[in-house]
Each structure stands twice: as structure tokens, then as C-alpha cells.
């Protein structure tokens, strides 16, 4: 039954999986000693996320310099800490997000005189890309086609969940817009009422002034 899948569908599967593999590429950046660099990632609630980082040795044939140390902290939008490591050259973290929003990973380079440049390789994966598919294939003992279909099913499930998440965010934005429009309407009405009141007071004052002067 598996062999009856047409070639175009197989090509589509491979294209989708190829796109996901490109999205999950690691990030490499330079960090000056005594400086900080933060990277944020929008993660939805109950999503799995994994991260790996290490300092790149500037001289592969020599030991890593003592000055090339990092302090790493991963926090949620509300300030909760999910990972912390002090004066390390490599490490990893993995957790399931309990709250939706922007999660931030900050790297601090230790102070050093003279100043040095530290190159950091950071791989951060969330959602479907956070799963180790190589282990899934080995444990499941499935052939390549069934493996690709299983992976595609996970992709579709992830996209479906993402659509519901975006729909919830859209509903929240619509409620915010309605609330803002209602507030602006009341403020406009209040401004108009104040203007009319001031105009009425000015008219009454001028009328009283002219009556006292017997101009009217």
C-alpha cells in the first residue's frame, strides 16, 4: 500500500522536510568580552524546545583559552528562568514551555583585558524541529517512506496547532481593538462635552459682560 503513493506527493514531502531542516540550522555569532548578546524566540505554550551551544576554538590545534567562557540564561517573557550556566564553554537545555510568548537566551562573555572576541555556535529548535527524528527512525524500525510520512504527519499536526494559536492571538487582538475603539469613543464624547461646556461658559460670560456694559 505504501508503494502506491505517487511520485509528486513524495517530492512534496521531501520539499517540506527540506525546508524544515533549513529552518533549524544553527546560528554562529561573535561576542566581545564583557558584552552581552540576547536571542529571542516566540514559543507557544506546551511546545518542546531544545538548545545546544558551544564556544568555537579559534585555534583547533590548541586548547581553548581560559578567557573563552560564557554565562548563559534562558528566561520567559514573564521573567521565569529555565536554564542557567556560569563560566562554561558548552552546554545544552531542554524544556516544555509552560507559557506562551517570547523566550530569551542571553550570553554574557567574561571580562578580559585585553578584550577578546568569542565565537559562539548556538542551535535552538522549537516545536516539530526539536524532535530527534533519527532516534525515532531507529526505535520505530520503519522503512524510509513510512518514516517520511510519520514526519510529515507531525509537521501537519504542528501547523494545525500553530493555526489555532494564531487564531487565538487574532481574537485577542480583535478584543483589544474593540476595547480601544470603545475607549476612544468615550474620550471623543468627553472631549466634545468639555468643548461644548467651555463654549457655553464663554457665551454666558460674554453675555453677562455686555449686559453689565449695557451694550445689549
> What is this structure's pTM?
0.54
Give residue-wise pLDDT tens across range 52-88.
999 999 888 888 888 888 999 999 988 899 999 999 9
pLDDT given for residue 103 in this prediction: 95
Residue 141 has pLDDT above 60, yes or no: no
pLDDT given for residue 19 in this prediction: 41
pLDDT given for residue 108 in this prediction: 93
Backbone angles phi, psi at 124, to 5 degrees: -125, 120
Interacting residues of 63 by C-beta distance below 8 A, sequence separation 6+: none
Pick from 65, 135, 75, 149: nearest CA to 107: 75
pLDDT given for residue 8 in this prediction: 44
Rounded to an integer, the average pLDDT of 123-132 is: 76
Per the omega criterion (within 30 degrees of 0), is the bond before 114 cis? yes
Residue 114 has pLDDT above 50, yes or no: yes
| Window from 69-78, 133-142, 181-190, 200-209 with minimum mean pLDDT | 133-142
pLDDT given for residue 120 in this prediction: 94
Which three three-digit cell numbers place residue 86?
556560569
Rounded to an integer, the average pLDDT of 140-163 is: 68
Residue with the bigger pLDDT between 162 and 187: it is 187
Whether the CB-CB separation of 80 and 45 falls below 8 Å is answered with: no
pLDDT given for residue 26 in this prediction: 74
In the chain, where the domains are located? 2-131
Local confidence band at 6 (pLDDT 50, 70, 90 cut-offs): very low
CATH number listed for the domain at residues 2-131: 2.60.120.380
Q: Reduced to 3 states, what is the DSSP secondary structure of residue 94?
A: strand
Mean pLDDT across the chain, nearest whole number?
A: 79
Pick from 105, 130, 100: nearest CA to 53: 105
Amino acid at each position: 500500500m505504501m508503494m502506491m503513493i505517487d511520485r509528486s506527493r513524495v517530492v512534496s514531502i521531501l520539499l517540506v522536510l527540506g525546508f524544515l531542516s533549513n529552518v533549524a540550522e544553527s546560528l554562529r555569532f561573535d561576542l566581545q568580552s564583557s558584552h552581552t548578546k540576547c536571542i529571542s524566540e516566540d514559543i507557544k505554550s506546551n511546545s518542546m524546545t531544545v538548545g545546544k551551544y558551544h564556544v568555537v576554538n579559534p585555534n583547533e590545534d590548541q586548547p581553548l583559552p581560559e578567557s573563552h567562557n560564557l554565562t548563559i540564561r534562558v528566561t520567559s517573557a514573564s521573567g521565569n528562568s529555565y536554564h542557567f550556566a556560569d563560566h562554561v564553554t558548552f552546554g545544552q537545555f531542554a524544556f516544555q514551555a509552560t507559557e506562551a510568548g517570547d523566550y530569551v537566551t542571553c550570553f554574557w562573555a567574561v571580562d578580559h583585558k585585553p578584550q577578546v572576541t568569542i565565537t559562539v555556535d548556538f542551535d535552538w529548535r522549537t516545536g516539530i524541529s526539536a524532535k530527534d527524528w533519527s532516534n525515532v527512525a531507529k526505535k520505530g524500525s520503519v522503512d524510509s517512506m513510512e518514516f517520511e510520512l510519520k514526519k510529515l504527519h507531525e509537521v501537519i499536526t504542528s501547523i494545525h496547532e500553530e493555526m489555532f494559536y494564531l487564531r487565538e492571538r487574532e481574537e485577542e487582538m480583535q478584543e483589544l481593538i474593540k476595547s480601544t475603539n470603545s475607549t476612544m469613543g468615550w474620550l471623543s464624547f468627553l472631549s466634545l462635552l468639555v468643548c461644548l461646556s467651555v463654549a457655553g461658559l464663554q457665551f454666558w460670560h460674554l453675555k453677562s459682560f455686555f449686559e453689565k456694559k449695557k451694550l445689549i
